[in-house]
Structure 1
Amino acid sequence: MGNNGSVERRTVLKAGGASVAALGLAALTGCGGDSGAGDGTVTIRYAWWGAEDRAKRINQTIKLFEKKYPKIKVKTDFQPYLDFWKKFNTQASGGNPPDVFQNAIGFLRKYDAKNVLLDLSEQVKAGNLSTDGFRAGLEKFGEIDGKLLGVPVGSNSMALVIDKPVYTKAGVTPKQGWTWDDFDAAMKKIRDKSGRAGDTGPYNVMYLYDLYLRQNGKAFFTEDGLGFTEADLTDWWTKAEKGVESGVYADQKKVAQIKPKSAVAAELSGGEFTWDNFTVRYSAEGKSEYGLAPIPTTDGKKTGQYLGSLMLSASKRTQHPKEVAQFIDFMVHDPEVAKIMGYDRGVPATQAQYDAYKPTDPVNKEIAAYEESLVAAGVLEPITPHPNGADVCEAAFLRIGEELGLGKRSVDDAVKQFFTESKTALSS
């Protein structure tokens, strides 16, 4: 996972983050978990990023796991997103990362290259971890170069979150297969009939730009670098700048002023692109009714979409690979876990968990329906592999896009700065 997935992830998670002490969670100690007690009990360490509510839910699932596996104890730690990776980097560099931890696609090659991640394939062969029953090909999501480096716990996909009454008033009804020309025309209607911008603006929405590139036969990343040119990015950011000037995209200075509140909930724009499972924030922040609309296309067919996912990965240094595999297997397959977690980390990745949790609130129902519609429309494709250094590129795109939107950089300067930083990150 601008209003891009990275911005919202950072905003939502950091805003709701809490210290370990706040929940009375055990601190991380030791290297690769405890060696084990005399009675055969072993302890594994589990770390993730998120807010208090996620921590409470996860701790409930751990109680279920420890009940089923009484010889395995779990020590836990969680941090807001940025703090998590800062701490994890320190632990990994010191040779004592947690046994199992929450992970994301942008970090797989990075930490595989640093010899941090355990290839879970052997545990699958040993019967300690099952890759059966995953939805829409998600079982392949954590495979890199023939190694299973992560197992999905939930899914999400990019979507257009809209203020439904605003779209209705403007006479705009997004449908699967609508084009970018249709979208541009809709933004003008919303501007003219609602008095607000049609969209928050795509300056730093890296994962939306990735979809646009994929629609045009390219991608943000290839296996070993960037999959687009400076000219491509110049066109993208020039269009964003012109959109603000014409009022179809929101004034980025106003967007910055109301953070962490979204521009849609603050009634600065009629919609914005983000991950579908972030939709819950809008109902909490705003007064209107919000929904999900399809991604515009270049040709009326190809959206470039894929299901993204948070994952569970294991440390190569763990002393308990079997127990870690059993823990991951439980967390992604057990139906009771899904009932506790809901859509906190996205729509459940396995069919058994998806069937076990049936949302009753309108927002989560719409998230489920949206992902079902993507499968039914046949638009989902495999995600493009992210190279080592992808996380640095993502952070640079976010920061430089914000600077451009705030008028601190010209388009040419922003493009050159992004490529300079990305080439350094991808060559290291």
Structure 2
Amino acid sequence: MAGRPPAGRLGRRLGAALLVVVTALASGCTAEDAAPKNSKVELSVFWWGGDRRAELTKKALDVYTERYPDVTFKFTHQGNAGYFDKLSTEAAAGNAPDIFQIDDNYLTEYAQREILLDLTDYVRSDVLDLRKLPAGLAQSSQVTGRTVAAAAAENTPGLIYNKSLLDRLDLPEPTIGMSYEDYLDWAARITERSDGKVYGTMDPSADYKALWVWLRSQEKELYRGRQMGFTESDLTRWFELWAGAREREAAPPGRVTQPANGGDVTKQLVSTGTAATSFVWSNQLSELQKLTKDRLEVVSYPGNPAAQWARASLYWAAFRGTRHPETAVHVIDFLVNDAVAGEILGTERGLSANLDVRRAVEASLTDESMKQSVAFETTMTEKFGAAPVPPPKGHATIKQLLIQAAESVQFGKATPRAAAAAFISQANAALTS
């Protein structure tokens, strides 16, 4: 049956293929749609990202078409700005792409709006195989118990630090499990020994993922259903922690920190030489390394490493209204689990979600920074805690509200308690609107 992917994965038992047909019927397509046949299928695929991502994604899907000539693709990609506005408009009109990229900012919202194809039965029948993904990564694709996407790649928070600077100052490197108290003492020594030319740490008080990891180290979460999972008192302590770091000059003043608060890699303080560390995603090490001649390395955020988890940097999802659900799912399975596809896609979206594919990709890497990222993620795999449920609808708004609240403290416009109170009120309102 060259030309069209078989029901289920290649070589799957007939029983699994039959189960897929039942699943397809339940999801609204016909048995004829689900059955193997030689008919031309064109699937539309939509993602955001730069030219390099587009080149690699197209190349991987060309391999799929080589194997199954009856399945071709219509590609569309753009920058992140406006991506979800366009996707939402197309979904409302019933003509969303068959397969598209999504992240945890919108995963829950799109699942609740019934835009995403329910993949649960495809996973049960192994049409979509998630068994080679870390358990937390597979779990992160679920909303209210349903699998609604598949992780395209993995990352986790990473504290990127300037090793060359530490060598010059004859200071030790940060370590996994370092307490926040020890971390800030260490950072203050950097500022002092560099005569104030470099601050020991960036101030991540505006960064939701830094706050989330800090909360998890205290057995709390960023969210609890459709409410914030922490109190005004918790957030006050978080803001006070970094206000103290600024006061002792372990961290820079607000005017220095502000450009980095939005997450722009080119403005991170470890790459501009303003601070010895930046709180980012571990897979951003390679991008940051290109911006400085000093050697950068990565370690976990301060605190218990079990507060971190294997996070899907991005997901692949299918449109609930696709005319070819099984073929779309088969393509997603290919992008996640196929070794050839994995080697083509490399680490552009993050580390391969499939652990076997990740090992194959790691062996082919030539970028030393990416090798470090993979090695770090591998080390952390045994230390990760359970993955939290995907953020609720409104997560993107919450991130912006946190930046506003943190900056009001960074610039002395509000006390930590006043900023925390304003944030909790606004955030809970945003989540329930």
Indicate the TM-score class for this superposition, using the shorter chain for normalisation.
0.7 to 0.9
> Which amino acid in the other structure matches residue 307 of structure 1?
A
Structure 2 gap ranges (5+): 1-28
Q: Report deviation, 1:408.
A: 5.4
Please list the CA deviations of residues 72-124 of structure 1 after superposition, one character each: whole Å capped at 9, or x if unmatched.
22112222223212222222333332221112223222112211111112223
* Corresponding position of 1:68: 67
Shift of 1:295: 2.1
Deviation at 1:176, TM superposition (A): 2.2
- The 8 Å contact of residues 203 and 257 in structure 2, kept in 1 or not, is answered as no
Q: CA offset at residue 239 of structure 1? A: 2.4
Structure with larger Rg: 2
**Aligned residue in 2 for 1:139:** 138
Matched, 1:251 2:256: no
Tell whether 2:256 aligns with 1:242: no
For residues 282-293 of structure 1, the aligned pairs below 5 Å read: 282-293=288-299
- The answer for the alignment partner of 1:153 in structure 2 is 152
Aligned-residue offset at 1:252? 3.0
Cα distance change on mapping 1:176 and 1:254 into 2, 3 Å:
closer
Amino acid at match of 2:86: K
- How has the CA–CA distance of structure 1 residues 375 and 97 changed in structure 2, closer, same or farther, with 3 Å as cutoff? same
CA-CA distance at 1:235 after TM superposition:
1.6
Distance 1:401 1:181 in 2: 20
Deviates more, 1:252-261 or 1:238-247: 252-261
Would you say the 8 A contact 2:42–2:71 is kept in 1? yes
Structure-1 separation of matches of 2:114 and 2:240: 40
State whether residues 161 and 274 of structure 1, in contact with CA within 8 Å, keep that contact through their aligned partners in structure 2: yes
User: Deviation of residue 421 (structure 1)?
Assistant: 2.9
Matched, 1:261 2:267: yes
**Aligned partner of 2:311: which letter?**
G
2:357 alignment partner, one of 330, 353, 358 = 353
Using structure 2 for the length normalisation, give the TM-score.
0.84
Q: How far apart are the structure 2 equivalents of 1:85 and 1:402? A: 27
Deviations 1:322-342 (A, max 9, x none): 111011010001111121121
Does 1:368 pair with 2:374? yes
Q: Report % sequence identity.
A: 24
Cα shift at 1:283: 1.3
Using the size of structure 1 for normalisation, the TM-score is 0.85
Counterpart Cα distance in 2 of 1:86 and 1:246: 44
Q: CA deviation at 1:303?
A: 3.8
Answer yes or no: is the 8 Å Cα contact 1:136–1:375 preserved in 2.
Answer: no
The 1:265/1:327 distance shift into structure 2, 3 A limit, reads same
Q: Is the counterpart of residue 335 in structure 1 residue 339 in structure 2?
A: yes
Whole-angstrom CA distance in 2 between matches of 1:254 and 1:394: 20
Q: Is the 8 A contact 1:334 1:352 kept in 2?
A: no
2:97 counterpart SS class: coil
Where structure 1 has 5 or more consecutive residues not aligned to the other structure, the ranges are: 1-31
1:277-327 Cα offsets, whole Å, 9 max, x none, are 011121111121100023221xxx454010111111111111110111011
Q: 1:271 to 1:119 in 2, by over 3 A?
A: same
8 A Cα contact 1:123 1:321, kept in partner: no
Q: State the match for 2:19 in structure 1.
A: none
Give secondary structure in 2 for the equivalent of 1:82: coil
Task: State the shift of 1:52 in Å.
Answer: 1.3
Q: Match of 1:411? A: 416
Supply the distance in 2 between the matched residues of 1:267 and 1:367 (Cα, whole angstroms).
Answer: 21
